[in-house]
Amino acid sequence: LSFTCYEEQMGQISDLLCAVNALHWDARTYMPPRGAAIRGIQIATLKGLARDIATGDGFRAALDTAWDEADRAGPDDFRRHAVEQTRREVDILRRLPKSLIVEAAELGARAEAAWVQARQDDDFDGFAPFLERTVALRRQWAEAIGYADHPYDALIGQYEPGMTLARLKTLYASLQAGLLPLIERARNLPKPRLDILHGLFPIPQQKAFSTAMAARMGYDFSRGRLDDTVHPFEISFGRTDVRITGRFRERWLPSGFFGVWHEAGHGMYEQGIAPALGRSIFATDLAGLYAVGGASFGMHESQSRLWENRVGRSPQFWAMHFGALQATFPEQLKGVDADTFWRAVNHTEPGLIRVEADELTYDLHVMFRTELEAALVTGDLKVRDLPDAWAERVQRDLGLKVPNHQGGVLQDVHWSSGMLGSFPTYTLGNVMSSQLFKAAGAESDVAAGLEAGDYAPLAAWLGTHVHRHGRSLTPDEILQRATGTALDPCPYLADLTRKVDQLA
């Protein structure tokens, strides 16, 4: 028994889970309407086989041997980190009964198809039974994993190791204290020219501009592609095939390209995992973690938000690239200048849709979702009461009325696929994006590149400090090593304050 034995089994797990990702990608892009039921079964079978390997006695023995071997390699050898993370993940996996995992996978595929239909028909009642079953399952799931304080902690922990509802509440309090006055200030600014974003922008040209800029940022299209979908996402079939999806609207320009750059940020993370940590054609290069996935969902989101907001919504970015956009849409953007455009895409206006929210109000969406999710999981909130509860929060936090379910509880895909507990990672990503951007910007070549429209130094810095580690370090370890501090909302609030100052 040697490290090779461990690597071989990890390779099988990785291949199964990458195939699962391919089936998921297809389900959300090209699958015919009646393909959903069997797809759910197939995904469940493949996940079940992966779990059989991961929780089997053979893997346990291989993992122990690998641990001894990696431990001898020294405390900072990547294999040691990799094996350590795998042990933690397998430990959680062993607590989950197979029946629960299989049921959740099957339900996920069917619920997602039901959600697509319900969203189209604005029919919450059509989706409610699926959501009820999902909530019940995730409560069982939390009980199986175990938690100290709150069942929701077990769910967040899967996406963000070490995070708890209590820690989130503290973070949210700081953010709220910082954000609310900023939003108030921003709303009193003169209204920018939003009409320039509402022309007729043909989608093929939108895609051309979006993809050209994504390639400039560093997303590698020879190892990826962009497809259309309802709710954009990034997904990896291994570091040499990492796909992004988008949704474009002819009459609303910014959502298309910002969405692409967001997903490209996720994609660059996956494409940047060190070959030794991904699945390689040479078994000896395998490091023993799944080929896909970053340190956490929050760390992943930090990469997407960094490219979307820290870079893509900066005045420097549009000073440099507005000309290219104007050349793409000469009629529609006639007489507009870079500053006017930059102001328009940074307009603060509370809205109903999370994925279209401006930077200042985005986290409000996340915070009330966290509150609702936690209440659903404990049973304090019933699914049937969810639309009213949602409407109440939107009124309270954003000052808006919810006119329909499409603009309310049916807007996000997450619950349909069983991802309760993942929303907080968006806000964690925002916070971390500023921490990392600040640390990167302290390097002179990164700072100079940002002024000159050359993103290679920034991409290289992120590759070195974040991407290459894959899942072999925890988010806290990455933050500490890259920025010298733990999770900290101050750089994020500072970035937003600077933006409002610049807009004023």
Indicate whether 211 belongs to the interface with a second copy (CB under 8 A).
no
Instruction: Determine the angle formed by the axes of helices 124-145 and 151-159, rounding to 10 degrees.
Output: 90
* Cα separation, 209 vs 214, whole angstroms: 9
**Residues 289-328: x/- map of binding to a second copy (CB under 8 A)?**
--x-------------------------------------
By C-beta, is 223 or 354 nearer to a second copy?
223
Tell me if residue 14 falls in helix, strand or coil.
Answer: helix
DSSP H or E segment with residue 288: none
The distance of closest approach from Cβ of residue 32 to a second copy in the complex, given in angstroms and rounded to an integer, is 5
C-beta closer to a second copy: residue 101 or 306: 101
Size of the residue set binding a second copy (CB under 8 A): 39
The 3-state DSSP class for residue 235 equals strand
Q: Does position 275 bind a second copy by CB under 8 A? A: no
Is-contact 336 329, C-beta < 8 A? no
23 lies in the site for a second copy, by CB under 8 A: yes
Per DSSP (E only), the strands in 159-215 are: none
- Closest separation between CB of residue 407 and a second copy, Å? 29
Does 224 sit near a second copy (CB under 8 A)? Answer: yes
- Scanning 122-150, the segments in alpha helix (DSSP H) are 124-145
Between CA 424 and CA 483, with CA 223 as vertex, the angle to 5 degrees is 45
At its nearest, how many Å lie between a second copy and the CB of residue 84?
Answer: 25
Q: From the CB of 22, what's the least distance to a second copy, in Å?
A: 6
Q: With contacts defined by CB under 8 A, name the span among 26-34, 59-67, 164-172, 249-257 that binds a second copy.
A: 26-34
Q: Tell me which of 11, 199, 351, 441 binds a second copy, using CB under 8 A.
A: 11
- Pairing type for strands 234-236 and 242-246 reads antiparallel
Q: Does 476 bind a second copy (CB under 8 A)?
A: no
Find the binding residues for a second copy in span 233-252 (CB under 8 A).
237-241, 243
Among 225, 382, 384, 396, binds a second copy (CB under 8 A): 225
- Distances in whole angstroms, Cα of residue 439 to Cα of each of 273, 294, 399, 436, 480: 20, 19, 36, 5, 11
Residue 34 binds a second copy, judged by CB under 8 A: yes
- Active site positions, annotated: 263
Distances, alpha carbon 188 to alpha carbons 129, 287, 346, 366, in Å: 43, 53, 14, 24
Query: Is residue 15 a contact point for a second copy (CB under 8 A)?
Result: yes
Q: Least distance (Å) from a second copy to the CB of residue 26?
A: 6
Classify residue 335 as exposed, middle or buried by CB count within 10 Å of its CB (0-12, 13-18, 19+): exposed
Which residues in 277-296 contact a second copy (CB under 8 A)? Answer: 279, 281, 291
Is 293:488 a contact under the CB 8 Å cutoff? no
Q: 279, 293 in Cβ contact below 8 A?
A: no
Tell me how far, at minimum, the Cβ of 221 lies from a second copy, in Å: 7
Query: Side chain identity at 319, as an amino acid letter?
Result: A
The answer to whether 12 contacts a second copy (rule: CB under 8 A) is: yes
Interface with a second copy by CB under 8 A: which range of 14-22, 248-256, 317-325, 496-504? 14-22
Least distance to a second copy, CB of residue 363, Å? 34
Q: Which residues pair with 243 in a beta bridge?
A: 235
Q: Answer for the pair 271, 49: CB distance below 8 angstroms, yes or no.
A: no
Of 394 and 459, nearer to a second copy (C-beta) is 459
190 binds a second copy (CB under 8 A): no
Residue 16 binding a second copy, by CB under 8 A: yes
User: Site for a second copy (CB under 8 A): which residue of 221, 250, 403, 477?
Assistant: 221
In whole angstroms, give the CA distance from residue 357 to residue 365: 8
CB atoms inside a 10 Å sphere around CB 146: 12
The rounded distance, in Å, linking the Cα atoms of 333 and 318 is 14
- Residues lying near a second copy in the complex (CB under 8 A): 11-12, 15-16, 18-19, 22-23, 26, 30-35, 37-39, 41-42, 45-46, 49, 220-225, 227, 237-241, 243, 279, 281, 291
